[in-house]
């Protein structure tokens, strides 16, 4: 029986490359000369460090630009509030990965409301959709691409 998975993942290697390129660009830019500004990639977050909050805004633009060029969806970024301490500014950007239970429920409910001949089940942080016909699965994919669920969605593990 044909099936596919609906998931929310990002390429960690491309993300690391985008952060590295953003660090290099900050080192080369004239408006960041003599400023201690940097990006630091951790497991589930990116920490932006600069001297003032205006520079943090510029750094976010640089990071988004580099991620877009590397093919990483910027919808994975959830920017926190900047923290200002004397001559240091810091901002934590959390990385969204995996579908939350609430988003999974919304997607499953959306698929069921379309009354297609498919079954959708939540499996951890992803959804498995199965059906008898490949055309039904392709219709589900096109319907989900049109709808906005607030997170970047990918489709994978297609089985025939």
Shared-domain flag, residues 85 and 17: yes
Q: What is the DSSP string of 90-156?
A: EEEEEEP-S--HHHHHHHHHHHHHTT-SEEEEEETTEEEEEES-HHHHHHHHHHHHHS--SS--EEE
Of 95, 125, 151, the residue at which a domain comes to its end is: 95
How many CA within 13 A on the CB side of residue 143?
16
Shared-domain flag, residues 60 and 89: yes
pTM of the model: 0.82
Of 95, 113, 141, the residue at which a domain comes to its end is: 95
Main-chain phi, psi angles of 45, to 5 degrees: -155, 160
Shared-domain flag, residues 69 and 22: yes
Q: How many CB atoms lie within 10 A of CB 134?
A: 12
At which residue do the structure tokens 């003032």 appear? 52
Domain with 24 in it: 12-95
If one counts the domains in the chain, the total is 2
**CATH code of residue 37:** 3.30.70.990
pLDDT digits (tens, 9 = 90+) for 111-136: 888 888 888 888 888 889 998 888 88
Of 43, 61, 95, the residue at which a domain comes to its end is: 95
pLDDT digits (tens, 9 = 90+) for 71-115: 988 888 888 999 998 889 999 999 988 888 888 888 889 888 888
Specify the DSSP class assigned to residue 128: E
Shared-domain flag, residues 91 and 155: no
């Amino acid at each position: 029986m044909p099936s596919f998975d609906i998931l929310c993942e990002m390429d960690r290697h491309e993300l690391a490359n985008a952060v590295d390129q953003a660090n290099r660009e900050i080192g080369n830019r004239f408006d960041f000369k003599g400023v201690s500004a940097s990006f630091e990639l951790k497991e589930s977050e990116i920490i932006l460090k600069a001297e003032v909050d205006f520079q943090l805004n510029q750094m976010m633009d640089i990071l988004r630009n580099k991620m877009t060029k590397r093919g990483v969806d910027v919808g994975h970024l959830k920017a926190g509030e900047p923290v200002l301490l004397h001559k240091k500014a810091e901002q934590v950007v959390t990385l969204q990965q995996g579908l939350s239970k609430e988003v999974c429920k919304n997607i499953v409910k959306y698929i069921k409301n379309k009354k297609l001949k498919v079954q959708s089940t939540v499996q951890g942080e992803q959804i498995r959709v199965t059906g008898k016909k490949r055309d039904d699965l392709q219709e589900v994919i096109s319907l989900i691409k049109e709808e906005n669920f607030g997170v970047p969605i990918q489709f994978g593990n297609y089985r025939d």
